[in-house]
Amino acid sequence: MSECIFCKIAKKQIPSDIVYEDEDIIAFKDINPGAPVHILIVPKVHISSLNELTDTELAGKMILAAKKVAKMYNINKSGYKLIVNTGEGAGQLVRHIHMHLLGGGDKNKWRIP
Ligand code: 5GP
Ligand code: ZN
């Protein structure tokens, strides 16, 4: 998927503010944040949406990476939200599976992606 923006970010072909990375996952700041902390948790392999995800281990790794990043940003106690938009009707704009991590400040002011 050479034209996929998140594949390009994962391969560091285009810049992003990377906050966490391991063998399978990359996490970077959303370019248009809806909350004081708004990070995208993205598997390095191209999977277009949750509908195409079958790897249970990778699914677990995404959630555990989100938990780590929440701790890094000190929002593990105050609270955070994980969102996986799936398909056009849910507003999934980038067709590479990603998990939004939102947290910090006043949750009533968050723009839910
Ligand atoms: P979706 O609506 O697909 O669930 O969310 C896609 C998210 O990706 C949006 O919140 C949008 O701001 C973010 N995004 C889109 N393009 C880029 C980019 O090139 N870099 C970064 N860091 N975020 C992006
Ligand atoms: Zn991709």
- Per residue in 23-61, pLDDT tens? 999 999 999 999 999 999 999 999 999 999 999 999 999
Level-2 CATH architecture, domain 5-107: 2-Layer Sandwich (3.30)
Is 98 catalytic? The answer is yes
Q: What is the pTM of this model?
A: 0.98
d(CA 55, CA 57): 5
Widest CA span in the chain: 39
Write 75-78 long-range contacts (CB < 8 A, 24+).
75/37, 75/103, 75/104, 78/103, 78/104
For a ligand 1 pocket test, name from 26, 32, 51, 101 the mutation site with the most ligand atoms within 8 angstroms of its C-beta: 32
Identify the residue whose C-alpha is closest to ligand 1 atom 13. Answer: 30
